[in-house]
Amino acid sequence: MGGMTDGAYAAAYEQSISDPNAFWGAAATGIEWMTPPPVVLDDSRPPFYRWFTGGTLNTCFNALDRHVRDGRGDQVALYYDSPVTGVTSSYTYAALLAEVARCAGALRSLGVGKGDRVVVYMPMIPEAVITMLACARLGAIHSVVFGGFAPAELAARIEDATPKVIVSASCGIEPSRVIPYKPFLDGAIERSSHKPERCIILQRPQVEAEMGPCDVDWVEIMATAEPADCVEVAATDPLYILYTSGTTGRPKGIVRDNGGHAVALTWSMSNIYGIGPGDVWFTASDVGWVVGHSYIVYAPLLVGATTIVYEGKPVGTPDASAFWRIIGTYGAKAMFTAPTAYRAIKKEDPDAVLRAGHDLSGLETVFLAGERLDPDTYEWASEILGIPIVDNWWQTETGWPIAANLRGLDPMPIKPGSPSVSVPGYNVQVLDEMGAQVPAGVEGAIAIKLPLPPGTLPTLWQDDDRYVASYLSVYDGYYLTGDGGLIDADGYVYVMGRTDDVLNVAGHRLSTGSIEAALAGHHDVAECAVIGVADDFKGQVPRGLVVLKAGVDAETQGERIRRELIQRVRDEVGAVASLRQVDIVAALPKTRSGKILRKTMREMADGKVPSVPGTIEDVSVLDALQGVLRPE
Q: By the criterion CB under 6 A, which residues form the site for ligand COA? A: 147-148, 172, 174, 176, 179, 285-286, 289, 291, 313-314, 337-338, 340-341, 344, 369-370, 505-508, 575-576, 578
Q: Which residue spans within 450-492 are E strands per DSSP?
A: 478-487
Q: Is 372 in the site for ligand AMP (CB under 6 A)?
A: yes
Q: What is the DSSP letter of 65?
A: I
Residues forming a β-bridge with 244: 252
Pick between residue 84 and residue 287 the one whose CB is nearest to ligand AMP: 287
Q: Is 293 in the site for ligand AMP (CB under 6 A)?
A: no
- Residue 465 burial (CB count, 10 A): 10
286 makes contact, choosing from ligand COA, ligand AMP, none, with CB < 5 to 8 Å by partner type, with: ligand COA
Q: Smallest distance from the beta carbon of 497 to ligand AMP, in angstroms?
A: 6
Q: Is 419 in the site for ligand AMP (CB under 6 A)?
A: yes
524 makes contact, choosing from ligand AMP, ligand COA, none, with CB < 5 to 8 Å by partner type, with: none
539: left (phi over 0), alpha (psi -120 to 50) or beta: left
Contact by Cβ (8 Å): 371, 337: no
506 makes contact, choosing from ligand COA, ligand AMP, none, with CB < 5 to 8 Å by partner type, with: ligand COA
Q: HEC string of 92-156?
A: EHHHHHHHHHHHHHHHHHCCCCCCCEEEEECCCCHHHHHHHHHHHHHCCEEEECCCCCCHHHHHH
341 makes contact, choosing from ligand AMP, ligand COA, none, with CB < 5 to 8 Å by partner type, with: ligand COA
Q: What are phi and psi of 96, to 5 degrees?
A: -65, -40
Pick between residue 440 and residue 534 the one whose CB is nearest to ligand COA: 534
Contact by Cβ (8 Å): 270, 408: yes
Size of the site for ligand AMP (CB under 6 A): 21
509 makes contact, choosing from ligand COA, ligand AMP, none, with CB < 5 to 8 Å by partner type, with: ligand AMP
Q: For residue 185, which of 205, 170, 204, 173 has the smallest C-alpha distance?
A: 170
Q: Is 509 in the site for ligand AMP (CB under 6 A)?
A: yes
Whole-angstrom Cα distance, residue 432 to residue 371?
Answer: 23
395 makes contact, choosing from ligand AMP, ligand COA, none, with CB < 5 to 8 Å by partner type, with: ligand AMP
Q: Is 370 in the site for ligand AMP (CB under 6 A)?
A: yes
Pick between residue 23 and residue 289 the one whose CB is nearest to ligand AMP: 289
Q: Smallest distance from the beta carbon of 556 to ligand AMP, in angstroms?
A: 41
Q: Smallest distance from the beta carbon of 483 to ligand AMP, in angstroms?
A: 5
Q: Is 371 in the site for ligand AMP (CB under 6 A)?
A: yes
Q: For residue 481, which of 404, 403, 375, 537 has the smallest C-alpha distance?
A: 403
340 makes contact, choosing from ligand AMP, ligand COA, none, with CB < 5 to 8 Å by partner type, with: ligand COA
Residues forming a β-bridge with 422: 403
Whole-angstrom Cα distance, residue 94 to residue 499?
Answer: 46
Contacting ligand AMP (CB under 6 A), which of 16, 58, 377, 396?
396
The widest CA-to-CA distance across the chain, in whole angstroms, is: 74
Q: Is 160 in the site for ligand AMP (CB under 6 A)?
A: no
Q: What is the DSSP letter of 616?
A: B
Whole-angstrom Cα distance, residue 270 to residue 295?
Answer: 12
Whole-angstrom Cα distance, residue 170 to residue 153?
Answer: 18
Subset of residues 433 to 492 that bind ligand AMP, contact rule: CB under 6 A:
482-483
20 makes contact, choosing from ligand AMP, ligand COA, none, with CB < 5 to 8 Å by partner type, with: none
Contacting ligand AMP (CB under 6 A), which of 165, 290, 428, 430?
290
Could you list the residues that contact ligand AMP (CB under 6 A)? 244, 290, 369-373, 391-396, 419, 482-483, 495, 497-498, 504, 509
